[in-house]
Structure 1
Amino acid sequence: MNLDLLLAFIQNKLNDELFMLGFYQCMLSFLVACFVSVVSIPVVIKISELKALMEKPGERRAHKTPTPTFGGIAIFAAVLISYFLWPSIDQTDIYRTNLSIVGMTILFFIGIKDDLVGIDPNKKIFFQVLPALILVFFGDLRVDYLYGIMGFNHIEEVISVALTCFIFIALTNAINLIDGIDGLAGGVATLASGTFGAWFLVTNHFAMACLAFTLAGALIGFLRFNFSKTSKIFMGNTGSLIIGFLLAFFAVRFINLNSSYRFDPTSFFDAPIIAIVILIIPIFDTLRVFMVRILAGRSPFSADRNHMHHILLDNGLSHAGATALLCGTSLFNIVLFFLFHRNITNTQSLMILGGLFFLYLLAGFLLKMRALLVATHPRRRRALLRKEFQNALGGRRLVDYL
């Protein structure tokens, strides 16, 4: 789309009364969600302090003092209040968005239990699959078209149901896994929900846009306290579960809508690739951490400090600095892809993403080595470096490959 066409498109939208009504509704939802989040979080902090519901520092924790971990309650309340405050002007997705609220509510209570007393991992996975199945079968929401990636287009219903559930589980847990430092999960989710929301708004899917901007507003209010030194709060599993679920909902619906309207000028024939790029940091970091743990002979779900944000902290960056770097990387990739995506096929785009993932792996490995060299006493560096190389090579010695 050249500049003249873009200006004409914007002018047409500004003259469209329905679009402007949807735009004002989305902006009001954003502001109300931000306000509710800001005024409710101090209450959550106070109750957490009175009842001693604090997360204590530990070996894998990035914080140094006991901190409330129920920010997800405020995010949930902000989304719920601001989304249902206005009458819907778009009936296309209203049932699906209402079903997403049902799924989010299920995960909200699972997250609360997990934050309070913990929950069995198998039960946690079951209650992540359940909301996805509600949307798949009641909301008729599934990824059933692969846009020619690796030669695949339409796929069988059973495979599409399994793939959709996998996307929900993977993205929900990916957001949970990157929630390790101040602002990272919230910042990535704000960027993603704002990007999805903008496309939903431009294409007149106002119910989806309103929910996306509502989440963005709730997260902006949360981030004000997440970065605070005097009134800090974490989103906890409650927050990461509902945020990951909603982002998965936005991503699947984005892919689904573009396949349904693929001849519309506002649609993208590379929607799955765009969805991956928008969520590139949580996806890449989860894949990288799982690969490192498996190569080291450990369970991919075992706990460690191998996330990229941990490595950046070990290299001397602050929480704000690491968050800014990773969110900036995500934004840079989104902008770059939107500038050049029309000139390449989906299979080529997927191969480029594979190359970027390799660079992400390499960057993590080199930064890990640098952190060891800087922080370790000289007499222990050789042993630690040897251990890291063995982990990277699948537990073998480097000489075994020579």
Structure 2
Amino acid sequence: MEVYILNSLLAASIALIISIILGPIMIPFLTRLKVGQNIREEGPESHFEKAGTPTMGGIIILSSVMVASFVVAPTNIQVLLALFIMLAFGAIGFWDDYIKVVLKRSLGLRAREKLILQLLIGLLFAIILIFYIDRGTDIIVPFTGYNIELGYLYIPFVILVLLGTSNAVNLTDGLDGLAAGTTVFVSIAFALVCIMTSNFELLIFAGALFGGCLGFLVYNKHPAKVFMGDTGSMALGGAIAAIAAMTKAELFLVIIGGIYVIEALSVIIQVGFYQLTGKRVFLMSPIHHHFELKGWHEKKVVIVFWIISFVFAAIGILGFRNIG
């Protein structure tokens, strides 16, 4: 086990170094391509100064994680599958970003197109998990130690986990460093899950994900020099969901990734309540914007959400340890 932990730390270090090195290369390149962030007119006024900041910086994270994983664990099927899911969802995000910021079509990919692509990737992922990796079709119920056998219902379940997580991380990516910092804590938690479930090769991927996000924060922390865009947020969501599925910790993802859940629920509640009553629950959703409009500085919102993310991750790990 010690060897795999060292390999995971090596992967994290490689990803960290690569992402830090890529920043000064990619940021000017993206700036020259004029792939600047579009700012919502109805958003907080403090965000208007961010207009033109290069986006699609998720390429930095994807590149660092991919290289680190290939260097340390080039042939492991679980690592390769996690990389595939990360890159596949990243490709959807990249296409969406490209349409929005390069082709100047503000809506990006149509929702139906994005959903179909995500469903196809999710279906392929489920089939590989069940029939090629022999993951089984059971899931662990948090804090109980019970396993529920889903049978073929596991296929739509894992597709829902993939789609829900990728889109929830996408919603979380609204403030400087928020999504990347949250994913740092989430990836550490899932690295520990990998250890507790003896998924030692997948531990290497989790380490690379941690390093890539931490390095990206050097340039994404407030005031951000680059945004990850859908390219990064959707890829991170896919990567986290892939780790959760392969460790049978899908339901723990709701706890460990609690910030993602809160962000997504705030949007669902806002839209649903407005459609029913014509009134809003929050000043603006996702919920991080609500606190900005309440007068919180962006850095305060991010730090508070990071702390909450750490707490959620700790609770999830303690719960998993108690049933391990």
User: What TM-score does the superposition give when structure 1 sets the normalisation length?
Assistant: 0.68
TM-aligned CA distance change 1:63 to 1:245, over 3 Å: farther
Q: Are 1:96 and 1:135, in contact at CA under 8 Å, matched by a contact in 2? A: no
* C-alpha displacement of 1:242: 0.6
Instruction: Find the aligned partners of 1:340 and 1:290 in 2 and give their Cα distance.
Output: 27
The aligned counterpart of 1:241 is: 234
Mapping for residues 63-82 of structure 1, pairs under 5 Å: 63-65=48-50, 66-82=52-68
1:49 maps to: 31
Q: Radius of gyration: which is bigger?
A: 1
Equivalent-residue separation in structure 1 for 2:22 and 2:215 (angstroms): 10
Change (3 A) 1:129 1:319: same
Structure 2, unmatched stretches of 5+, are 100-107
Question: 1:139 corresponds to which letter in structure 2?
Answer: L
SS at match of 1:67: coil
Aligned to 2:193: 199
- C-alpha distance 53-201 of structure 1, shift in aligned 2 (>3 A): same
User: Does the alignment pair 1:318 with 2:312?
Assistant: no
Distance apart, 1:340 and its partner CA? 7.3
Whole-angstrom CA distance in 1 between matches of 2:217 and 2:142:
39
1:196 shift after superposition: 0.6
Query: Which segment is superposed worse, 135-144 or 289-298?
Result: 135-144
Counterpart contact for 1:142–1:164, Cα < 8 Å? no
Residue 4 of structure 2 corresponds to residue 22 of structure 1:
yes
Distance 2:171 2:294 in 1: 20
Give the deviation of 1:40 after TM superposition.
0.9
Cα deviation for residue 87 of structure 1 reads 4.3
Distance 1:72 1:190, change over 3 A: same
Does the 8 Å CA contact 1:26/1:209 hold for their aligned counterparts? yes
Aligned residues: 301
Paired position in structure 2 for 1:110? 92
TM-score (norm 2): 0.84
The Cα offsets for residues 369-400 of structure 1, whole Å up to 9 and x where unpaired, read as xxxxxxxxxxxxxxxxxxxxxxxxxxxxxxxx
Structure 1: unaligned runs, 5 residues or longer: 1-18, 256-270, 346-402
Give 3-state SS (helix, strand or coil) of 1:135's partner. Answer: helix
| 1:323 partner letter | V
Structure 1 contact 145–155 (Cα < 8 Å) conserved: yes
Aligned-residue RMSD, C-alpha: 2.7
CA contact (8 A) 2:161 2:250 kept: no
- Once structures 1 and 2 are overlaid, which stretch shifts more, 27-36 or 120-129? 120-129
| Sequence identity percentage | 24
Residue aligning to 1:296? 274
Give the Cα–Cα distance (whole angstroms) in 1 for the partners of residues 26 and 148 of structure 2: 47
Give the aligned residue type for 1:240.
S
Question: Does 2:20 correspond to 1:38?
Answer: yes
Q: Distance in 1 between matches of 2:220 and 2:193?
A: 28
Q: Residue 122 of structure 2 aligns with which residue?
A: 132
Q: Displacement of 1:57 after TM fit?
A: 3.2
Match of 1:157 among 151, 159, 165: 151
- Residues 44, 70 of structure 1: 8 Å contact kept: no
Contact 1:99/1:134 (CA < 8 Å) preserved in 2?
Answer: no
How far, CA to CA, are the matches of 1:186 and 1:315 in structure 2?
23
Q: Provide the rounded CA distance (Å) in 1 between the counterparts of 2:153 and 2:112.
A: 22
2:170 to 148, 171, 176: 176
Is the 1:107–1:128 Cα contact (8 Å) retained in structure 2?
A: yes
Aligned-partner residue type, residue 70 of structure 2: F
For 2:288, which of 309, 332, 335 is the aligned residue? 309
Query: Which of residues 205, 211, 226 in structure 1 aligns to 2:205?
Result: 211
Q: Distance in 2 between matches of 1:100 and 1:25?
A: 17
Whether the 8 Å contact between 2:193 and 2:320 is mirrored in structure 1 is no
Deviation at 1:144, TM superposition (A): 2.7
Any idea what SS the aligned residue of 2:39 has? coil
Between 1 and 2, higher relative CO (CA 8 Å, sep ≥ 6) is seen in 2
Once residues 342 and 87 of structure 1 are traced to their aligned partners in structure 2, the CA distance between those partners, rounded to angstroms, is: 26
Counterpart position of 1:250: 243
Residue identity in the other structure for 1:130:
L
CA distance 1:276–1:56, change in 2 (3 Å): closer
| AA aligned opposite 1:216 | F
Distance, in Å, in 2 between the alignment partners of 1:142 and 1:325 is 38
Counterpart for residue 275 of structure 1: 253
1: CA distance, partners of 2:6 / 2:316: 29
